[in-house]
Amino acid sequence: MSYASNPAIANFVEYLQIPSVQPNINYDACVSFLKKQASSLGLEFVVHEIVPKKPIVILTWRGSEPARPSILLNSHMDVVPVFEKSWSYPPFSAHIDKDGKIFARGSQDMKCVGIQYLEAVRKLKAAGVQLKRTLHITFVPDEEIGGHDGMMKFVHTPEFKALNVGFGLDEGIASPDEEFILFYGERSIWQIHVHCPGTPGHGSLILPNTAGEKLRYIIDKFMDLREQQKRILESDPKLTTGDVTTINMTQIFGGVQSNVVPEKLSVVFDMRLAITVDHVQFEDMIKQWCKEAGEGVTYEFEQRNDKVESTKLDASNPYWLAFKAAADEMNIKLDCRIFPAATDSRYVRKVGIPALGFSPMNYTPVLLHDHDEFLKADIFLKGIDIYVKLITAVANL
C-alpha cells in the first residue's frame, strides 16, 4: 500500500521534515506550518511569546457550550539531536519504506500526536460534529530541554488562565505489544551536585581529610540506595521503572594532575523520585550523608522538581471515567503507569489540572531519542481514529 498520497500522512511528513532540533531552534517553520493547518481546519490561531523566539502556538475549536472548562491537547514542537551516520535514512527526510515505516526524528516523540490531534478534528468537522467543550490544541517549545521557557512559564500566565482548561492530554510512549500505555503521574526530577573539599598535597602522601575519601563515602551512599531500588524493581514483575526511585551517577569533576591530591572533587547524580517518596525526609537523608562524609561537604541542586499530585484514576475524576469508557468501547487495553521520565504534563498537573499522557502507538518498539526512530503509517492512522473517540468523549462530558 502507498501511504504517501494520504493527506494525513502528507501533513505528518511535512511536519517531520521541519528540523526543529535542539539546541537553538528557529521555530518559524513550525509556526508557519501550523498556521496553514489552522486555516485549512477553520480554527482560531494565536501565538504567544512569553520568551522571545520561544512561541506557544494555540489552535482553538470553540465548543457549543464554551463556558464549560475546556480540553487541552498538548504537544511539543522540538525534537532531540541526531547522530545522522547511525540512521538508515536522513533523519529529517520522513522516508516511508516498503513496510510503511515512517523514519524521522520526532515520529514517535512527539510530532505524531500533534498531527493526530489535528487530523482527528478534521474528521470530526467533516462529519458535522459539534463538541460541547472548547478544544485548545497547543504546540509548545523546548520540552526536550525541560520546558522552562515553554509550558513551565505558560501555565502561570493570564493567557493560559483564560483558556479555562479543565483537563489535559499530552504525550505517552510507544508500546511493543497489544496494550496502550497511559500515564497519570510523573516522578520528581532531582539533579544534585555534591562538593567534597579536602586537604591538598603531593600524591605520594597519606594525607588526612582528603576530597577523595569524602567523595567515596558519598558515592557509596547514593549507589547503595540505587542498588536497593534496583532490587525492589527486579523483585516484582508488576513494577515498572516509574514505580521506584532511580539514581544514576552522571558526572565527576576535579583534580589538576595525576600526582596532586585535589582540594575539591564533585559528583553529580540524576535522581527521579518515586511518587511515594517524602521529599523533606529524602533531603534530610542527603544532608546526613554529607555530614557523615566529612568536614565541608555541601550540595546544590541543578534541578529540583516539587512533588506534584498524580491525576486520579477513579470516580472523583469524571474526565478519566469518560476517557476510560471510550477506550473500553474501542476494546483498547490500557496499561496505567507513572511516567519514568518527565513531560510537560507535570506543569499542567502542578496548577491543579488533571492530565493524562497517552500516545496511541501499540505494536511499536520504543524508539524515542534513538537512532532510526519510526512510526508505521497504519499505526499513525489508527491513532487518529482513536483520538476521534477519546476527544469526543472528554469534550462532550
Tell me, rounded to whole angstroms, the distance of Cα 248 from its chain centroid.
19
Residue 344 in grid coordinates: 510537560
Q: How far apart are the first and last CA of the chain?
A: 38
CATH entry 3.40.50.2300 includes domain 188-274+276-304: no
Please give the Cα distance from 197 to 266 (Å, whole number): 8
Task: Assess contact for 131 and 392: CB atoms under 8 A.
Answer: yes
pLDDT at 2: 75
Residues 6+ apart with CB under 8 A from 234: none
Q: What are phi and psi of 190, to 5 degrees?
A: -125, 115
Question: 255 vs 207, 215, 217, CA distance in Å?
Answer: 15, 12, 18
Question: 3 vs 40, 99, 182, CA distance in Å?
Answer: 21, 10, 28
Task: Assess contact for 171 and 111: CB atoms under 8 A.
Answer: no
Task: Assess contact for 213 and 294: CB atoms under 8 A.
Answer: yes
Q: Which among 154, 137, 158 is positioned nearest to 42, based on CA atoms?
A: 137
Half-sphere exposure of 200 (CA within 13 A, CB side): 12
Give the pLDDT confidence of 28-71 residue by residue, as tens digits: 999 999 999 999 999 999 999 999 999 999 999 999 999 999 99
The CATH homologous superfamily to which domain 7-186+310-395 belongs is Zn peptidases (3.40.630.10)
Tell me, rounded to whole angstroms, the distance of Cα 238 from its chain centroid.
23
Domain ranges of the chain: 7-186+310-395, 188-274+276-304
Q: How many CB atoms lie within 10 A of CB 36?
A: 13
Residue 91 in grid coordinates: 533523519
Mean pLDDT, all residues of the chain: 97
Helix (H) / strand (E) element for 397: namely none
Residues paired with residue 188 on neighbouring β-strands, in sequence order? 273
Please give the Cα distance from 47 to 91 (Å, whole number): 28
> What does the pLDDT average to over 90-102?
97
Give the pLDDT confidence of 58-70 residue by residue, as tens digits: 999 999 999 999 9
pLDDT beyond 90 at 294: yes
pLDDT beyond 70 at 9: yes
Q: How many CB atoms lie within 10 A of CB 44?
A: 12
pLDDT above 70 as % of the chain: 100
Q: Which among 396, 379, 349, 305 is positioned nearest to 74, based on CA atoms?
A: 349
Please give the Cα distance from 294 to 216 (Å, whole number): 11
Please give the Cα distance from 162 to 67 (Å, whole number): 11
State the catalytic residues.
78, 143
pLDDT at 4: 81
pLDDT at 197: 98
Q: How does residue 262 score in pLDDT terms, banded at 50, 70 and 90?
A: very high
> What does the pLDDT average to over 169-188?
98
Half-sphere exposure of 232 (CA within 13 A, CB side): 15
Q: Which among 37, 87, 101 is positioned nearest to 380, based on CA atoms?
A: 101
Helix (H) / strand (E) element for 381: namely helix 377-395
Residues paired with residue 121 on neighbouring β-strands, in sequence order? none
pLDDT beyond 70 at 1: no
Please give the Cα distance from 160 to 168 (Å, whole number): 13
> What does the pLDDT average to over 346-365?
98
The strand pair at 188-197 and 101-103 is best described as unpaired
Helix (H) / strand (E) element for 116: namely helix 111-126
pLDDT beyond 90 at 172: yes
> What does the pLDDT average to over 122-142?
98
Q: What pTM does this model have?
A: 0.94
